[in-house]
Copies of this chain bind each other. A is one copy, B any other.
């Protein structure tokens, strides 16, 4: 859960610790979860024993790198939540951030969707409703302030908005779209509907 090395670590130990993470990020990004510890240690410029010393085993490395990603994403979501930005803009921000995250952490999402993560990590992430609840609470605000209709099935609406992220990952045509522009159009459909 922390992006800083465990406290009380000697300076040179920290350096190795960071090297491992750099190698792991690189290897997982390029090769997905199939990356071997050999790949990681080579990219890290570090012996395999060092990985074990700092992270216990492969799952430990995976857990750490994935937690980094989650924190990064959740921090963005939190940032999007605060401030006195109008709720509609925060909704737009949430979506944009999600699409950005996909760009940066595609392999995490693929691993998650493929249920390939170590059991506990998989479960923890599946139970993490941070983004879902952020979206939901924005939608509630929007209902409260009269922007959205009162009979809206909010959980389903939140699901609909989040689902765009998943599709984004795999759609072949996403190269052609600009993420920010796509978000605008999606919100337009969401808000005003497709009906003539």
Contact = CB atoms under 8 A, between A and B. Distances in A.
Contacts of A162: 167
Interface of A: 32, 110-111, 113-116, 126-127, 146-150, 152-153, 155-157, 159-160, 162-173, 177, 182, 185-186, 189-196
Contacts of A192: 193, 195
Nearest to A34: B116
A92 to B, nearest CB: 14
A150 B115 CA distance: 40
A191 B182 contact: no
Nearest to A113: B113
12 contacts: A32-B115, A110-B114, A110-B115, A116-B116, A127-B172, A147-B195, A160-B164, A160-B190, A166-B167, A189-B193, A191-B193, A192-B193
Given A114-B116, A149-B195, 9 more contacts: A110-B114, A152-B189, A152-B194, A155-B173, A156-B177, A157-B189, A159-B168, A160-B167, A163-B166
Q: Specify which of A111, A114, A148, A170 lies most central, judged by the most chain B CB atoms within 10 Å of its CB.
A: A114
Nearest to A171: B159
Nearest to A191: B195
